[in-house]
Amino acid sequence: MCGDHEHGHQDGHDHGHQPVDWREHGIKIIPGNALDPNTAQTPGMNRATAINHARAGAEKIWAGTVTIHANAKTGAHHHGDLESIIYVVKGKARMRWGENLEFVAEAGPGDFIFVPPFVPHQEINASRDETLECVLVRSGQEPVVVNLDIEPVEKPEEVLWKDPIHR
């Protein structure tokens, strides 16, 4: 199976019978200590891009890390038609969602959070003294955020949490 590309195009892609430079157009490894912090920063958190078009050639997704200081909260918002996945590495995340942010759930290390398109939500670092560390993946690279005029059940205070698209 490893040699399929040498004898045909079983992958279903028409490479135009031109050899593909797999070194340039293949797998990319982005070391954890080489993430790009040159993205908009907000007091109370640190962001870094791992995967986007410029760094890895990604066309349909964005991925990076978000470190959120203790007690940080967002205002109510949604991300248009984007899907988001948040993986909690360390700390405790509290998510509120719904028309009035009436639903609530918490996630800890090893948990995945899926945020569907157009869902009104608020992200909260549930700890008053521990940093929340997450990996964030989005289904697109456009910075879509729609701030909503919903009175948050947990008002943003002390530190406002903004991820790369909450500028």
* pLDDT for position 128: 92
In a domain, 89, yes or no: yes
Q: Structurally, how many domains does the chain consist of?
A: 1
Residue 70: domain span: 30-160
In a domain, 8, yes or no: no
Distances 147 to 2, 6, 25, 105, 152 between C-alpha atoms, Å: 48, 51, 37, 21, 12
pTM for the structure as a whole: 0.77
* pLDDT for position 42: 55
- Return the CATH number at 153: 2.60.120.10
In a domain, 125, yes or no: yes
Q: What is the pLDDT of residues 68-104, one digit of tens each?
A: 889 888 778 888 999 999 999 999 999 999 999 999 9
Q: What is the pLDDT of residues 112-155, one digit of tens each?
A: 999 999 999 988 899 999 999 999 999 988 767 778 888 777 77
Alpha carbon 86 to its chain centroid, in Å, reads 6
What single-letter amino acid sits at 110? Answer: G
- Ramachandran assignment for 118, one of left (phi > 0), alpha (psi -120 to 50 degrees), beta (any other): left
* pLDDT for position 9: 46
Torsion angle (degrees, nearest 10) of CA 41, 42, 43, 45: -80
Predicted confidence band at 1 (pLDDT cuts at 50, 70, 90)? very low
In a domain, 66, yes or no: yes
In a domain, 126, yes or no: yes
Predicted confidence band at 5 (pLDDT cuts at 50, 70, 90)? very low
Average pLDDT, the chain: 82
In a domain, 121, yes or no: yes
Torsion angle (degrees, nearest 10) of CA 10, 15, 18, 20: -80
In a domain, 47, yes or no: yes
Cβ neighbours, 10 Å, residue 143: 15
In a domain, 111, yes or no: yes
CA distance 126 to 95: 9
Q: What is the pLDDT of residues 6-34, one digit of tens each?
A: 444 445 555 567 888 998 889 999 999 99
